[in-house]
Amino acid sequence: MFLEGERIALRPIEEEDLEFLQTQINDPTIWRSIGRSRPLNGEQERDFFDNVVCGDDTVDLLIGVDSTPVGTIGLFEFDWEARTAEIGYWIAPDHHDRGYGTEATERVVQYAFDQLGLHRIAAHVFEFNDPSQRLLEKVGFTKEGVHRDADFVDGEHRDVYWYGLLEDEWRSDGGD
């Protein structure tokens, strides 16, 4: 275990998780919400694991509940000089609406500020993804702007909402 919450446990993604990841990433609920437009085969998932997850440029964690994988969460796009990163996550559709994503996000935000010394965490979400917007706002993120027609999902251009959370905002809201 890397980080624990009340109901969830976060651990590094391992090779034995690849089948779960590939299955879930190809579910329309997931690929649509993260902006993928093409399916991912086993070799592509393996490449992602080898080149991204096993690299030093990201923090990629599996979200588990009672040893059952329910999603992923990670930090990426680090700028160590500015002390910033972006957060991203997804929860398998069978486990939606149970608060697992919120709890995982709270734990990773705490880790990012307390252990990594970050000053700011960014996130982006599609305009149609109301649950993710609510999650970010519940954790304390502020909607900072809109990139109009910035991505192409489901055959049409979609707005992308950008969120940010500063360390001092998080601490003043009781995040410490």
Q: pLDDT tens digits, residue range 2-46?
A: 899 999 999 998 888 888 888 887 777 887 787 766 666 677 777
Task: Give the number of other CB atoms < 10 A from CB of residue 45.
Answer: 20
Residue 48 has a pLDDT of 73
At residue 54 the predicted structure's pLDDT band, cuts being 50, 70 and 90, is low
Tell me if residue 73 falls in helix, strand or coil. Answer: strand
Q: Which residue, 119, 34, 109, is CA-closest to 75?
A: 109
Residue 62 has a pLDDT of 93
Task: Give the number of other CB atoms < 10 A from CB of residue 35.
Answer: 16
Sign of the dihedral defined by the CA atoms of residues 174, 97, 152, 75, in that order: positive
Tell me if residue 51 falls in helix, strand or coil. Answer: helix
Measured distance between the N- and C-terminal CA atoms of the chain, rounded to whole angstroms: 21
Q: pLDDT tens digits, residue range 89-119?
A: 999 999 999 999 999 999 999 999 999 999 9
Integer Cα distance of 154 and 135 in angstroms: 23
**pTM (global) more than 0.85:** yes
Q: Which residue, 57, 92, 63, 54, is CA-closest to 75?
A: 57
CATH code given to domain 3-173: 3.40.630.30
If phi > 0 it is left, if psi is from -120 to 50 it is alpha, else beta; for residue 92 that is beta
Domain coordinates of the chain in residue numbers?
3-173
Q: Over 90: is that where the pLDDT of 121 sits? A: yes
Phi/psi of residue 24, each to 5°? -70, -40
Mean pLDDT (the chain) is 89
Q: Over 70: is that where the pLDDT of 129 sits? A: yes
Contact 11, 2 (CB under 8 A): yes
Q: Which residue, 127, 119, 116, 36, is CA-closest to 74?
A: 116
Q: Over 80: is that where the pLDDT of 64 sits? A: yes
